[in-house]
Structure 1
Amino acid sequence: MPGFQYSRSSVALSAFVAGLLIGGLAGWTPAAADTEITVSGPETVMFDSDVDGCDNHHLPDSPARAFRNDQGKMVLFAPNFQNRAFVGYGFDSLKPDCDSRFMAAGKADPALLDDRTWLQAIYTSNGRDVYALGSASFIPYRHDMPCEGRTQRTDCWINGLVTLKSTDGGKTFSYFGDPPRHAPFPPPRPYRDDRKRAPSYVTVTNIVQWQNYLYAIVWRRADSWENSRNCLVRAPANDPGRWDIWTGSGFEQAATLTDQGWSVRQTDCARVGPKGVSSIRGLVRDENSNRFIAIYQHRIRQSSKNNTGKDDIAGFFYSTSTDLTRWSDPKLLYQQPLQPDAGPGESFSAYPSIIDDDSTDRLFGTVDDQASLIFVRLVPKPFKDRWRVPRQLIRVPISIRE
């Protein structure tokens, strides 16, 4: 892939968009779930911020994403807004790199989406020219800006998905277009300080290649939980300057590249994935069955005689699909306490993904019969008159079979 130039005709740009299509597919119909995923070994702590962290801010805060660079090394992100990486030849040799690979400018203008950004989806065809979709937040409390009725510091927070690029194997990234034209998925509505829950595109899975398209799933937060949903988008290899989003009856244009950056249409998406599930955090394709596997955190209510809810089953669940449109019901993979379950000082888990470190796919978008569940465990510890929350990156081996 040639070096990056910011123009519509750029080959690197074409490769980027071809690899980074994110959007939404609708409708939920249960599909046959013949794939069984089970835990096959004990946990391994890959990273402990109290032991291995470069500083007090080195905290995993996103699902793990990986790619293989042009030197054959695995580069893995599970970043916070400082976007540090781990580098090695596989899970057993990964080491943290203390250099920040990208940091947003921290600007106090919500229209720019340049406050804090987390790298969350990565595409590369050669390991040198690397492109990413980032979750970009504007957080008003950080700038002492008003928020009507604020009770939590995330109130009035607004979020979009922005594009980034690297020409040095992912060592450094910069925005793909000047803010706010770096956002193919900006917030559906402008920022307001009297709206505590702003409609937003919040998170994105990793990218999976299938039948000449590259797919990912994004979480579109609405005014209410009922209207929030997972959405699927795709980029065709023969038209990489256009992103299409599934509306329930077909794919429609969502964003088009121009010389000035992304030109966006307010095309809404339909729901994909099992009903009642919040944001899907990881997506892989099982090479043996050619089924897709989606991983997410979820809770299933169990019957309880005293209606205390203590019989709920919470943790990391998965669903499977043969076509990305019809998904199986949630199945429990790994029971874990989630944030609502944790009392003061109690650990909880978040941000699941599935990665096979010997995948032949440069994006680690495929798995065979052995892979790993990767997630973050938050471990509160007392500190003076409050709690600090160190974090661990955990790996659990899993088996995938028909």
Structure 2
Amino acid sequence: MRLRLALLVLLVPAGAIAAPEPPLSSLTLVGPPTVVFKAGRDACDGADVPDSSARAFRDGSGAMALFGLHYRNRALRGPDLDHLKLDCRVVLDSGEKSDPALYDDRSWITATWTEDGEAVAALVHHEYQANAHPGRCRSKVYLECWYNTITAATSKDGGRSFSRDIPPTVVAGAPFRQEIGQGRHRGFFNPSNIVSDGRWRYVFASTTGWDRPGEQEAGVCLFRSDRPADPSRWRAWTGTGFTASFPDPYRTGSPRGDTCRPVTPFPTPVGAVVRHRASGAFIAVFMAKAGDGFPQSGFYWTSSRDLLAWDVPRLLVAGATLYDDPCAAPGGLIAYPSLLDPAAAGRNFDDVGDAAILTYATLRTEGCTITSDRDLVRRPLAIKVWP
């Protein structure tokens, strides 16, 4: 099974905002891992494997819906995190269409937001895999043909089905079409969950950067919106304000020159960001490979007062991740961390108290191959935030 952009390590941009010291928070694991979903046991078909960070919300009845599987999108549902079962209904399928202007090749629901549990806005990680479509790429290598866009989808029935405009609204994409710049991975990808500070909703999204138009650094950019239900209202941080937009290059007459300013210290996509209820501080988790300031491979966390200046990351779980060589990881890999508080005050699980659950995927390897034998697991942790 083909992995999404699993091997990309982003460059940490120069000139980013300095991180505050000392650290704002402490996260401590307080229990062993337990299995939430086992692909070989619980799947409806071969598409049901953990392949993104867990995203959850409470629907109109108060029941929990959790996404985090593959590009044939299904939800785990249940009354709470302890009693989830995969619902075999496909809520958003992937058309695997060859026309890149349709944005309907392979799609993952990677962020959700709902105010009432019925109307749900989703951000979708869309991969156009040109290598799979004859005549669309000069190469046959997946990453050399990879063109990624964040698009939008909506549900009116509490996440039991999602629909998209034709073509869907582009929230963030490269300002050029997919045939440009082949030979490297291009675009925006892997949005975090959406987190609220009251008035605004925020999401992190990664980009590989580009040279023209403008000079976009590779990194992780912060977007905000006052109304996620209208996907056209998302704007990215430029270093002076939230003004950058990245419209559909197939619908605009000429390329736009907007760029966003990457936020440090994230070398890879943000797995999840949550707000601590008592202090208002934000806590983010992500994967990192050993090197460049990270002493070990594994999951790291960092914290912030404003989502722009973050403290020094600290190791939470050590282990080989998707950014490591699978040939050197006979015990398998860990990936896609997220944070969920079963007692979250809001519907969207974007807040935490002094205890939460770390969820992530474990991936078995066979030689140098990452297999589809994967589990979604959880571990309890304690959270402390200093004033």
SS in 2 for 1:66: strand
After superposition, residues 46-195 of structure 1 pair within 5 angstroms as 46-145=36-135, 147-150=137-140, 152-175=141-164, 177-179=165-167, 181-192=168-179, 195=182
Q: Distance in 2 between matches of 1:54 and 1:394?
A: 18
Q: Distance in 1 between matches of 2:301 and 2:228?
A: 32
Aligned residue number for residue 249 of structure 1? 240
CA apart distance, 1:233: 1.1
Pair 1:239–1:133, CA change in 2 (3 A): closer
CA apart distance, 1:182: 1.7
CA contact (8 A) 2:175 2:256 kept: no
Identity %: 31
Pair 1:29–1:400, CA change in 2 (3 A): same
Pair 1:120–1:264, CA change in 2 (3 A): farther
Q: Which moved more, 1:281-290 or 1:60-69?
A: 281-290
Pair 1:194–1:36, CA change in 2 (3 A): closer
Q: Distance in 2 between matches of 1:102 and 1:322?
A: 35
SS in 1 for 2:148: strand
Q: 1:317-360: per-residue Cα shift (whole Å, max 9, x none)?
A: 01100011110111111112113243275411111111112201
CA contact (8 A) 1:254 1:266 kept: no
For the aligned residue pairs, the C-alpha RMSD in angstroms reads 2.9
1:197 aligns with 2:184: yes
Pair 1:302–1:253, CA change in 2 (3 A): closer
CA apart distance, 1:228: 1.1
Pair 1:45–1:354, CA change in 2 (3 A): same
Q: Which moved more, 1:230-239 or 1:387-396?
A: 230-239
2:348 paired residue among 342, 353, 363: 363
Q: Distance in 2 between matches of 1:281 and 1:105?
A: 26
Q: Distance in 2 between matches of 1:286 and 1:264?
A: 40
Q: 1:248-303: per-residue Cα shift (whole Å, max 9, x none)?
A: 1112152689xx99x9954210011316x211121100112211011100134399
Pair 1:264–1:94, CA change in 2 (3 A): farther
Pair 1:55–1:30, CA change in 2 (3 A): same
Q: Distance in 2 between matches of 1:99 and 1:70?
A: 18
Aligned residue number for residue 4 of structure 1? none
CA apart distance, 1:239: 11
1:296 paired residue among 266, 272, 286: 286
Aligned residue number for residue 377 of structure 1? 362
CA contact (8 A) 1:242 1:255 kept: no
Pair 1:358–1:387, CA change in 2 (3 A): closer
1:30 aligns with 2:19: yes
Aligned residue number for residue 273 of structure 1? 264
CA contact (8 A) 1:189 1:199 kept: no
1:316 aligns with 2:299: yes
Aligned residue number for residue 219 of structure 1? 206
Aligned residue number for residue 307 of structure 1? none
SS in 1 for 2:171: coil
CA contact (8 A) 2:333 2:362 kept: yes
CA apart distance, 1:79: 1.9
CA contact (8 A) 1:294 1:319 kept: yes
Q: Distance in 1 between matches of 2:39 and 2:160?
A: 21
Letter in 2 for 1:46: V
Q: Which moved more, 1:229-238 or 1:347-356?
A: 229-238
SS in 2 for 1:343: helix
After superposition, residues 313-352 of structure 1 pair within 5 angstroms as 313-339=296-322, 340-343=324-327, 346-352=331-337
* Structure 2 stretches lacking a partner, 5+ long: 1-14
Pair 1:288–1:142, CA change in 2 (3 A): same
SS in 1 for 2:289: strand
Letter in 1 for 2:103: L
Letter in 1 for 2:312: D
Q: Distance in 2 between matches of 1:267 and 1:236?
A: 20
Q: Distance in 2 between matches of 1:27 and 1:123?
A: 29
Taking structure 2 as the reference length, the TM-score comes to: 0.85
CA apart distance, 1:395: 0.5
Aligned residue number for residue 7 of structure 1? none
Pair 1:355–1:341, CA change in 2 (3 A): same
Aligned residue number for residue 7 of structure 2? none
Taking structure 1 as the reference length, the TM-score comes to: 0.82
Q: How many residues align?
A: 360
Pair 1:269–1:85, CA change in 2 (3 A): same
Q: Distance in 2 between matches of 1:47 and 1:312?
A: 31
